[in-house]
Amino acid sequence: MNTALITGGSAGLGRALVAALADQGWHVITDGRDAHRLDQLRRLPGADRITAIAGDVTDAEHRAALRAAVDADGRLDLLIHNASALGPVTGETRRRLLADTTPEDLQYVWRHNVGAPLVLTSLLLPTLVASRGVLLSISSDAAVEHYAGWGLYSASKAGLDHVTLTFAAENDAITAYAVDPGDMRTQMHQDWFPGEDISDRPLPETVVPHLLALLASRPPSGRYRAADFPALRAPAGSHSGAAV
């Protein structure tokens, strides 16, 4: 049985990926800060193949618990860095001009979006290398575009891209992808646009088949858009394409 670790699996794209891979027979280890939402994963098809561990990926003890779960399997075929942070709330918004950014803002966003993925990958790298596995980080178009008020988040995603692909440059046994999933109808996206109607954005479940197609085709390490890969149909009888 293949093993995947997906951070931030309690909601949005992370939850959709957990559902799809577990339904296809993978053992999926995942985490999230909201224990109640993680508990809802027990309702998914293939829930007996999901190991959910509540906690914050920036916490060393929590990362040790994730490693222990991987060690119990003795393999890691896929590591997906999905968990991320927009930034501390200021008033009613997380948007802040770079000129107004504080050292605390920088530390908060960098720890979640760059530091934690880097340290967790390093912790799990020997097992990922032994499995000749895949490292996949969920990026954003903000990593290569310049949006007013998004500067700190954008820089962190660019940093995540660089860290992800450097791991592959330093380790021939693994393949690494930084993937822009495109806009999605998630709570995180809604938080970035409070009060706005984002119902025109696609659900994260619609992005998953494109990511599965990327994993199936396993192109060279690099930065990609999910939309670059035609959606891969789920196996007959699979529920992975259904909204959760």
Identify the active-site residue in 108, 153, 177, 224.
153
Nearest to 46 by CA among 14, 16, 24: 24
Q: Report pLDDT digits (tens) over 106-152.
A: 999 999 999 999 999 999 999 999 999 999 999 998 888 898 888 89
> What global pTM score does this model have?
0.88
- pLDDT value of residue 201: 62
- pLDDT value of residue 85: 87
How many angstroms separate the CA atoms of 86 and 147, rounded? 14
Q: Report pLDDT digits (tens) over 61-82.
A: 999 999 999 999 999 999 999 9
Across the beta sheet with 78-81, what order do the strands follow? Answer: 50-54, 27-32, 3-6, 78-81, 134-138, 175-180, 222-225
Domains present along the chain, CATH in parentheses: 3-228 (3.40.50.720)
How many angstroms separate the CA atoms of 205 and 15, rounded? 9
DSSP letter for 145, please. S
pLDDT above 50 (res 167): yes
pLDDT above 70 (res 100): yes
Confidence of residue 88 (pLDDT cuts 50, 70, 90): low
Confidence of residue 231 (pLDDT cuts 50, 70, 90): confident
- pLDDT value of residue 233: 54
How many angstroms separate the CA atoms of 8 and 82, rounded? 6
Residues 137/81, Cβ–Cβ less than 8 Å: yes
- pLDDT value of residue 87: 73
- pLDDT value of residue 206: 86
Residues 78/53, Cβ–Cβ less than 8 Å: no
Q: Is 224 a catalytic residue?
A: no
Specify which residues 138 forms β-bridges with: 179
